[in-house]
Structure 1
Amino acid sequence: MNTQADPIKSAPQGTGRRLLVVNPNGNADVTRLIARIADKVLPAGTTAHVVNPLGSPHSIQTLADRRQAEPLAIDLLARNRGYDAYVMACFDDIAVHSGRSFLGAPVVCAVEASLSVARLFAPRISIVTTVESMVPGIRTVVDALGASRTCNVRAAGIGVASAAAGGDEVERRLDDTIADARNFDGAGAVILGSGGLAGRASDLSARHGLPVIDSIESAISLGSLAANISL
């Protein structure tokens, strides 16, 4: 799997399907984490370049961070045409609508992908994200997708960089927040709403006895499917 901060400007040639997976923040640790997810879920014959823009905020946790990151993500997409599908590997709709307007290939939103999966399991869903400042933006995207009546959003109080680094305190906060989602929201399924939380769904699902959906895994899996049906 290939990870880069400033990727090549044309898709690599080959016989298989090719995805560009974009981490809109500038955190190389998160980009490497996403690359490991891609390695795990992509079928044989499909390759991915996992990239992040140069100069983007280390974490996208505020509206100001988003305003800085989105133009950089759009520019990165514009300079990397020719892939069979594109995945925006963050729990937001950053660059999704713009990318769909000019790329001529599927652009996958992690919120949309993971909600689609979670709805297969339960009528009520909770999203567990990192910090409280992320909640209003996520609620806006959830509302636009028509899921606000059945989906709550909770913050675990973990920064994106801390989430990616892991540790006992991160796990404790996630466990407490998922327990609250189940006990107070009536959630029958939980979505991990941050790229920094990727890779934990299986362990958390086993600990809590309910489906825990990895939003990045969902997005990359859907990207692979979309790449194989794109024209």
Structure 2
Amino acid sequence: MSAKATAWQASPGLRRVLAGAAALVLLGAMALDTKVIKIGSAGDVRNAVFSAADYGKSEFPKVQADVEARAADAATVATAIAKDRATAEKEYGVPAGVGPVISVKFTGVVGEGKSGIYKVAVDGLPDTLTVRVQTGPAINGTELRDATGKITFGQFTNQIEYQDAGSALNNEMKKEVLAKVDTSDLTGKTIAVVGVFKLVNPKSWLVTPVRLDVK
């Protein structure tokens, strides 16, 4: 047996000292490599998690204001579409997939309804054009999300978040607009609406409101 081996075996105290020193070096290295994140700070990963409810609450007022600012009279829009659809789409619409989303405003008398979707008779519109307003409980489509052109897929992590953003805006609209109206008893009443529709069939508009007042 070598002299070095004999010295090591004969010095248990030395082994403990060396082991302790190695542990301290390891702990020091771990401390240097550890970043302290304060809860609620910009580095807190929980802040990066998408919350549909928070998104709807913060963004719906912006969408509502934008739609109200750009909304054109329904009769004016209908006339423009009948005259030259392509030109009308550029003037009044926001590109959104298969058809542009157009912001309109009108006053009319509510007709029959089914599953929360009511026909509305609007003066100045041709008889060949059917206008319907959806009042829930289910609000379909992503027209509110697409109405301004300012909400894009690139702002979200994935397609699921992008879809959730559309649903969140619909849900917030229900809370802020439709919850204030008895939507179960609208037939025969006069309503003033500001809302959006996707132009696919020029003879049938399904309007999602951002404002609905019963006269």
Output the TM-score relative to the length of structure 1.
0.22
TM-score by length of 2: 0.23
- Who wins on radius of gyration, i.e. which is larger? 2
